[in-house]
Amino acid sequence: MNQPSICYLSKSDIQQAGGGSSDLYVTALERALRLHAKGEFVQPLKPYLRANGKEGHIADRIIAMPAHLSGESPVSGIKWIGSKHDNPVKRNLERASGLLILNDPQTNYPIAVMEASLISAMRTAAVTVIGANYLAKKNFQQISCLGCGIIAKMQVTSMLEQFEQIRKVHLFDLNEASARKMAQHIQSQFEQVEVCVADSAEKAVRQGEVVITATVTDQPYIPFEWLQKGAFISNISIMDVHKEVFLQADKVIVDDWEQANREKKVIHQLVVEGKFSREQLHAELGEILIGKKAGRESEEEIILLNPMGMAIEDISSAYEVYRRAIANNIGTALSLY
């Protein structure tokens, strides 16, 4: 009888296998999004475990995200990721941490367990990169990022790695020290880029041809009037833009309609109010990748991407990391028995 084992990959193992590079995640997410558009996946709605219920902060939760991807290299798995909004300030810890488990769909035996926060943050950044490829103006040069934590740093770094034409980055955070620290980090890595710390969210947003939200807010603060003509907004942190942005933008795109229309998020509120519907949605992002729906069609369009984050993105990314780790003998083998 075979003795099943799993490959354990720490964060440093993942980085060694290429998991710190945006290229890996763009490849993995394009695969996942194309399979999503073709219906070649299984992805139950993710449950949120909130120990403090409605009294807790919106970012205080543990999420279970199971998924299966079909295609040429089928794989199943789950991400179990926890977050506490005050971890950085109170405990000197990153806000989020978790585990990813991969299963062989032939046997359903687990084949890998790995640290999840790096993959989770990097795949989220890849969503913005892919969105910008299809939804931003050609040759955009200025990007703005609201929030300056770990997620924001990976968002901006991935954008700068993938778009050499970017010349200016505008940052804003309620904690100015966080914004200045991130500005120094970016400037040290990308000397050709000018990095500015704005003294208000409005100033940062108004300058952005691409606007990225990476906050833990539970209240919208970005009105439609702040957005310049032709802006692309990657609304990663979901709750940042006012309802009017959804209603006045030329195109609204999500990653998955069922995931986006839940949990009392802004889209769900608008649907309940009778102001928005599946028919008013322009597309799911994968539909644009496979050519079923158009991306940007003019330089003047204001386009909003509102991605909830999908388990298939994590599983596809984790599988790509695992594949490279096995090929390069990275990680620790652990016996199940």
Cα–chain center distance at 55: 26
In 173-284, the DSSP E strands lie at 194-197, 210-213, 232-234, 251-254, 283-284
Q: Which of 79, 137, 153, 293 is catalytic?
A: 79
Give CA–CA dist 70/236, Å, rounded: 26
CB atoms within 10 A of CB 46: 20
Q: Return all residues near 101 (Cβ < 8 A) that are at least 6 apart.
A: 77, 78, 80, 110, 112, 113
Q: Which residues touch 138 (CB under 8 Å, ≥6 apart)?
A: 299
Q: How far apart are CA 130 and CA 102, in angstroms?
A: 24
Annotation says 79 is catalytic: yes
State the Cα–Cα distance between residues 152 and 237, nearest whole angstrom: 10
Structure tokens at 121: 């943050």
Q: Are 198 and 178 in contact (CB under 8 A)?
A: no
Active-site amino acid positions? 79
